[in-house]
Structures are given as structure tokens and as C-alpha cells.
Homo-oligomer: A and B are copies of this chain.
Amino acid sequence: VARRRKQAIPFADVRGHLEPGPIVLITSAHNGRTNIMTLGWHMMLGFEPSLVGTYIWEENRSFDIVKASGECVINVPTLDLADAVIGIGNTHRGRADKFKAFDLTPSPARKVAAPLVEECYANFECKLADGKQINRYSLFIWEVVATHVATAVKNPKTMHYRGRGQFMTAGATIDRSSEFKRDNL
């Protein structure tokens, strides 16, 4: 899978990549332990600061790493990474190096210890903004503190999980901006 040139984008534009609901890969690191997990349950919770909620089940090995470090990277894969997305989803509590096993390239983040997944077209470095809902709802509320987006990828062919092993893949993008009131764009 090709690696692409990326750049920072305005924090207020993070929503454009997460609001459509793609499956994402969460990377984490703490005390020399690194992990990747596949995650479909997330939502935007703010523009600036850019806040994102993720549901990370306590049975996932990533849970401990993410909770202890208070950091993660949200990486957005496209359909060309489907084998890795599914394979990582299957590797419950596995101890193998998943970067190596799934031919993914870790690269250093700017503000967190967790690595970026180079092959994903977008990577969002996150620091924990609020952990009070972790115990009750497995809900981590993150602030995006650095962004890396291959802005040349105009309509990324993201994967959207329907359950039962089925993924909806991103279809055509339609532009209805002329019908929006300016404040509502």
C-alpha cells in the first residue's frame, strides 16, 4: 500500500474525516508496549477544541495501554487496507507485532508516543480530555492535538461496518453546498 504525503489540517476540519463513520485503527503505546486495534464506535464531540469520543472495551488489550498513557492515534484506513483492518479485528489480545504481521509501517507522532500508521490516509494524534466516562461506558473523550492528512485524497474510500462481517464502502460524494446556509456548512 502506497504511503502518501500528508499535511496538517485545521482542527475544525477533523469532522470531515470522522463524521462519515469510518472504521478506524487506534494505535497506542505505553512503557514500550505498542498496540493497534480496529474500532467502529466513535463520534465527534467538538470543533475547536476538536473532541472525539471512542468506545474502547476493557477486554481489549489496547484498553490498558490507552488508559495508562492517556494518549492514542486515530488512523483512518481505506479499502486497500481491508485485510489489515479485518486481521487486526480478529487478533483479540494477541501479543504478536501487528505492524509486522499486517505489513503496516509505524512512524513517529509529533505530540504522543503512539505511532502513526503510515498507510492510513489520515492520522489524528489524541490526548485524553476526559476519562470520567471510561469506567461506566468505556467512553474515552479525546482532544485531537495534531493532524496528518493526505489532502490529495479527495473522497477516501473508507470502510463502514454494518455488522455480520459486512462493510459498506464509501460511494459517490455529492456537493449540496449551494443549498446550505453559510452558518450551517
User: Which residues of chain A have a CB within 8 Å of any CB of chain B?
Assistant: 13, 15-16, 19-22, 40-46, 51, 53, 55, 79, 82, 86-87, 89-90, 92, 130, 133, 136-139, 141, 155, 157-158, 160-181, 183-185
Known: A15-B163, A184-B92. A168 touches B55 (CB 8 A): no
Q: How far is the CA of A13 from the CA of B165 in the complex (A)?
A: 13
Residues of B within 8 A of A42 (CB): 43
A46, B40: Cα distance in complex, Å: 12
Question: Which B residues are in CB contact (< 8 Å) with A90?
Answer: 179-181, 184
Q: What is the total number of copies of this protein in its complex?
A: 2
Chain B residues whose C-beta falls within 8 Å of the C-beta of A21 in the assembled complex:
19-22, 160
Q: Specify which chain B residues have a CB less than 8 angstroms from the CB of A180 in the assembled complex.
A: 86, 89-90, 165
Known: A16-B163, A21-B20. A53 touches B139 (CB 8 A): yes
**B contact residues around A51 at 8 Å (CB):** 137
Give the distance in Å from the alpha carbon of A79 to the alpha carbon of B183 in the complex: 23
B20 touches A168 (CB 8 A): yes
Decide: B163 and A13 in contact? CB cutoff 8 A. Answer: yes
- Please indicate the chain B residues that have their CB under 8 angstroms from the CB of A53 in the complex: 43, 53, 139
